[in-house]
Chain A
Amino acid sequence: MAELSSTLLYIAFILYLIGTFFFGGSIRDKRGKDEKTNRWARLGIAAAILGFLSQLGYFVTRWIAAGHAPVSNLFEFTTFFGMMLVGAFIIIYFIYKLSALGLFTLPVALLLIAYASMFPTEISPLIPALQSDWLKIHVTTAAAGQAILAISFVAGVLYLTKVVDQSKATKKTFWLEFVMFVLVTTLAFVIVTTVFRAMDYESVFKWIDKNGQEAEMEFHLPALVAPHEGELLTKDRLAGFVELPAILSARKVNTVLWSTFVGLILYGVIRLILRKRISAALQPLVKNLNLDVVDEIGYRSVAIGFPVFTLGALIFAMIWAQIAWTRFWGWDPKEVWALITWLFYAAYLHLRLSRGWHGEKSAWLAVIGFAIIMFNLIFVNLVIAGLHSYA
Chain B
Amino acid sequence: MNHVKCECGHVNPFGTVLCENCGRALAAEGEGNSEKLHDMRYDGSARRSQTYNKTIVDKVWNFFSSVKVGVWLIVITLIASAIGTIFPQELYIPSNVTPEQFYKDEYGILGQLYYQLGFHRLYGSWWYMTLIASIGISLVICSLDRVIPLYRALKNQGVSRHESFLKRQRLFSESYVDNIEKNVEQVKKNLTARRYRIREENGNILAEKNRFSRWGPYVNHIGLIIFLIGAMLRFFPGMYVDEVLWLREGETKEIPGTNGEYYLKHHQFILETYQKEKEKDVFQEAIDRVGDGSVAKNFQSNVTLYKKQGDSLPGEEPKLKEVKDFSIRVNEPLKFDSYAVYQVNYKLNELNKMTFDLIDKKSGKSFGKVVIDLLNPEKKYDLGNGYAVEIASYLPDFYFDDEGNPATRSRVPNNPAFVFKMIAPDRPKGETSFVAIQQTIEPNENNKYKMKFSGIETKNLTGLVVRKDLTLWVLGVGGAIFMIGLIQGLYWQHRRIWLKADNGKIMLAGHTNKNWFGLKNELDIILRDTEIQKPVDQKQLKE
Contact = CB atoms under 8 A, between A and B. Distances in A.
Nearest to A330: B91
A265 interface: no
B328 to A, nearest CB: 11
Nearest to A332: B92
B311 interface: no
Interface string B161-199: 000000000000000000000000000000000000000
Contacts, number: 146
A339 B81 contact: yes
Given A132-B331, A299-B514, A380-B85, A347 B78 contact: yes
Contact of A340 (B82, B123, B274, B483): B82
Contacts of B329: 128
Interface string A319-354: 000111011101111001101100110110011011
Interface stretch (A16-24, A30-38, A199-207, A301-309): A301-309
Interface string A55-70: 0000000000111000
Interface in B256-301: 274, 279-280, 282-283, 285-287, 289-290, 295-299
B78 A296 contact: no
Given A125-B286, A385-B88, A292 B75 contact: no
A352 to B, nearest CB: 8
A183 interface: no
Contacts of A300: 515
A14 interface: no
A344 B331 contact: no
Contacts of B85: 333, 336-337, 380, 384
A379 to B, nearest CB: 10
A125 B297 contact: yes
Contacts of A384: 85
Interface in A23-48: none
Contacts of B479: 315, 318
Nearest to B78: A343
A351 B344 CA distance: 43
A247 interface: yes
Contact of B333 (A129, A296, A323, A350): A323
Nearest to A354: B67
A273 B233 CA distance: 63
A304 B32 CA distance: 31
Interface stretch (B202-210, B388-396, B486-494): B486-494
Contacts of A102: none
Interface residues of B, number: 65
Contact of B486 (A1, A307, A328, A354): A307
Given A327-B467, A347-B78, A128 B298 contact: yes
Contact of A350 (B74, B89, B91): B74
B123 A331 contact: yes
Contacts of A333: 85, 88
A242 interface: no
A356 B271 CA distance: 60
Interface residues of A, number: 64
Contact of B67 (A67, A324, A350): A350
B472 interface: yes
B543 A291 contact: yes
Contacts of B298: 128
Contacts of A336: 81-82, 84-85
Contacts of A358: 541
Interface stretch (A116-124, A169-177, A228-236, A249-257): A116-124
B280 A67 contact: yes
A66 B282 contact: yes
A168 to B, nearest CB: 17
Nearest to B515: A300
Q: Which of B67, B85, B280, B297 has most A Cβ within 10 Å?
A: B85
Nearest to A1: B282
Contacts of A96: 517
Contacts of B61: none
A360 B148 CA distance: 33
A310 B282 contact: no
B482 interface: yes
Contact of B331 (A120, A131, A354, A359): A131
Q: Which of B71, B91, B279 has most A Cβ within 10 Å?
A: B71
Contacts of B299: 128
Contacts of B472: 322, 328
Nearest to B83: A336
B225 to A, nearest CB: 15
Nearest to B340: A326
Q: Which of A295, A328, A344 has most B Cβ within 10 Å?
A: A328
Contacts of B515: 296, 300, 303
Contacts of A124: 283, 286-287, 290, 295
21 contacts: A65-B282, A67-B280, A120-B289, A124-B283, A125-B279, A125-B297, A292-B540, A299-B514, A303-B514, A318-B479, A326-B242, A326-B333, A326-B465, A331-B91, A340-B82, A343-B77, A347-B75, A350-B67, A350-B70, A354-B68, A380-B85
Cβ-closest 7 pairs across A and B: A124-B286, A128-B330, A122-B285, A307-B486, A333-B85, A343-B78, A132-B331
Given A122-B286, A322-B472, A386-B92, 9 more contacts: A65-B282, A120-B286, A128-B329, A247-B106, A307-B490, A328-B472, A336-B82, A344-B78, A347-B74
